[in-house]
């Protein structure tokens, strides 16, 4: 007889959700986590005395979102920040033109109109695209039809390229034409002044989680599964594998017998992007109060193009910028100090000497992280939306996969991780799990055992 009903591999949002739901249903569950912390790609670094979200920051669209319902049910405070999906307007953005000059209201309105015009043509091109078309192909066709001047086309092209990099961590020519279809944002976006990992930490309370247990092998048989780690071997009736697509692609875990084509096909076809964050704290603010984003277009924004004001989290003037796609990978080869100096140089080309030397910085390297091997999944050319859900299995009735890459409706998000974890729990239990009751269960446990 197996010691556990289910072993969950990975203590990120998806794994913790599955584990919590199964335990709530009376199952005996073990969570094996390779790192020395839980949360996975939700990582709030509190070493400086305030949270720095090195992984996820945003709920991208709160309308009709069960994730948002959970956040509210747990009374987690949030800040409205509706520019996390690379919007061109909608909230105050300080735009600089390709020469590094601040754009006035009229120029900004013209810029927004250019992007919105091109966006409408792009939607048409995507809807009539053929299999194998890349996002670059459809973008170029839209721009060809736009009748904008060559200079304005260049700026809009850069904007679309940067949007793909930030949203997918990929080069625009590697993304399928449909790669941003699931990117629609319903309602406001929010960030978490107490750190986003409060969410997985509260779900995790009371679970049997073994940190420092990197799984190396999963053997399945009609009787269940045996899971190897460097620290011990564990057996269960079911296993839920929630490691990232990057970890699956790297074959860091051996599966015996080998996973079927129905699962390995999506692993090969889907892409794993790189998206890194650079937080800089300054002695004083040099941008306007109320600005959400600083954005440099064209030449001025070749590498560093968008800075997000996240000062409200720490009370210290703080900008967050990103390095994603090919540049995000390249950035990882540089010393952090050189990266910071390069970002500061870019800001000085916009604001001059008003930009003081940073007093603190944080630089992520998600592409080099052994237990993530990238930031999130995307629809690489040749893959389809179905690949995401196909990746979930189950395999032989005993092996399930969950995690952001297994959820086709909005992959690459915390929501996807949450919903895929929910789906895995429902499949194992063979019945529906009510999300309202799930949240209420977390609250009830906290009331019984107040948090430290």
Residues binding ligand FAD (CB under 6 A) = 9-15, 32-35, 40-42, 55-58, 60, 84, 214-215, 242-244, 247, 252-253, 275, 277, 364, 366, 371-372, 375-376, 403-404, 412-417
Residue (160 or 418) nearer to ligand FAD, CB: 418
Residues 65, 83: Cα–Cα separation, whole Å: 17
Query: To the nearest whole angstrom, how small is the minimum distance from the Cβ of residue 405 to ligand FAD?
Result: 7
Residue (270 or 417) nearer to ligand FAD, CB: 417
Query: To the nearest whole angstrom, how small is the minimum distance from the Cβ of residue 222 to ligand FAD?
Result: 24
Query: To the nearest whole angstrom, how small is the minimum distance from the Cβ of residue 246 to ligand FAD?
Result: 9
Q: Would you tell me how many other CB atoms lie within 10 Å of the CB of residue 260?
A: 13
Which strand (E) or helix (H) includes residue 5? Answer: strand 4-9
Residue (358 or 403) nearer to ligand FAD, CB: 403
Residue (98 or 326) nearer to ligand FAD, CB: 326
Cβ pair 221, 259 in contact under 8 A? no
Q: Helix, strand, coil % (nearest 5) of the chain? A: 40, 20, 40
Q: Which two tokens stand for residue 420?
A: 């895929």
| Residue labelled with tokens 């995690």 | 403
Query: To the nearest whole angstrom, how small is the minimum distance from the Cβ of residue 241 to ligand FAD?
Result: 9
Query: To the nearest whole angstrom, how small is the minimum distance from the Cβ of residue 60 to ligand FAD?
Result: 6
DSSP type of residue 98:
T
Residue (60 or 220) nearer to ligand FAD, CB: 60
Residue (251 or 284) nearer to ligand FAD, CB: 251
Helices assigned H by DSSP within 191-260? 198-204, 245-249
Pairing of strands 93-96, 293-296: parallel
Query: To the nearest whole angstrom, how small is the minimum distance from the Cβ of residue 212 to ligand FAD?
Result: 9
Residues 161, 146: Cα–Cα separation, whole Å: 17
Q: Which two tokens stand for residue 89?
A: 């307007």
Cβ pair 179, 122 in contact under 8 A? no
């Amino acid at each position: 007889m197996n010691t556990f009903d289910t072993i969950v591999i990975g203590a990120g949002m998806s794994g913790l959700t599955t584990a919590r739901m199964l335990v709530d249903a009376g199952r005996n569950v073990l969570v094996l986590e390779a790192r020395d912390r839980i949360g996975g790609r939700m990582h709030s670094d509190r070493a400086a005395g305030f949270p720095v979200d090195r992984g996820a920051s945003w709920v991208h669209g709160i309308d009709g979102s069960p994730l948002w319902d959970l956040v509210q049910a747990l009374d987690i405070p949030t800040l409205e920040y509706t520019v996390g999906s690379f919007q061109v307007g909608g909230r105050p953005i300080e735009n600089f033109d390709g020469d590094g000059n601040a754009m006035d209201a009229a120029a900004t309105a013209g810029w927004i109109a250019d992007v919105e015009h091109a966006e409408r043509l792009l939607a048409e091109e995507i809807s009539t695209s053929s299999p194998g078309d890349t996002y670059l192909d459809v973008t170029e066709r839209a721009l060809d039809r736009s009748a904008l001047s060559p200079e304005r086309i260049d700026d809009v092209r850069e904007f679309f390229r940067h949007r793909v990099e930030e949203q997918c961590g990929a080069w625009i020519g590697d993304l399928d034409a449909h790669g941003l279809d699931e990117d629609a944002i319903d309602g406001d976006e929010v960030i978490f002044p107490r750190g986003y990992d409060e969410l997985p930490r509260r779900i995790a309370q009371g679970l049997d989680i073994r940190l420092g247990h990197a799984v190396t092998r999963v053997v399945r048989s009609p009787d269940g599964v045996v899971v190897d780690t460097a620290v011990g071997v564990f057996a269960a009736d079911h296993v839920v594998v929630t490691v990232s697509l990057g970890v699956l692609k790297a074959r860091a875990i051996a599966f015996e017998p080998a996973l079927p084509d129905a699962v390995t096909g999506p692993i090969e076809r889907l892409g794993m992007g790189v998206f890194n964050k650079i937080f800089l704290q300054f002695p004083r603010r040099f941008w306007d109060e109320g600005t959400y984003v600083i954005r440099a277009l064209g030449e001025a924004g070749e590498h560093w193009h968008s800075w997000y004001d996240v000062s409200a989290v720490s009370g210290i003037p703080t900008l967050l910028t990103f390095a994603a796609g090919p540049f995000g990978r390249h950035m990882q080869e540089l010393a952090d100090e050189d990266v910071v100096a390069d970002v500061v140089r870019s800001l000085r080309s916009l604001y001059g000497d008003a930009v003081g030397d940073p007093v603190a910085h944080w630089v992520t390297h998600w592409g080099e992280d052994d237990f993530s091997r990238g930031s999130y999944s995307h629809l690489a050319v040749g893959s389809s939306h179905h690949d995401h859900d196909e990746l979930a299995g189950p395999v032989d009735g005993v092996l399930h996969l969950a995690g952001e890459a297994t959820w086709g409706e909005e992959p690459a998000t915390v929501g996807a991780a949450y919903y895929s974890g929910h789906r895995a729990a429902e499949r194992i239990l063979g019945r529906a799990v009510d999300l309202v009751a799930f949240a209420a269960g977390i609250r009830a446990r906290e009331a019984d055992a107040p948090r430290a």
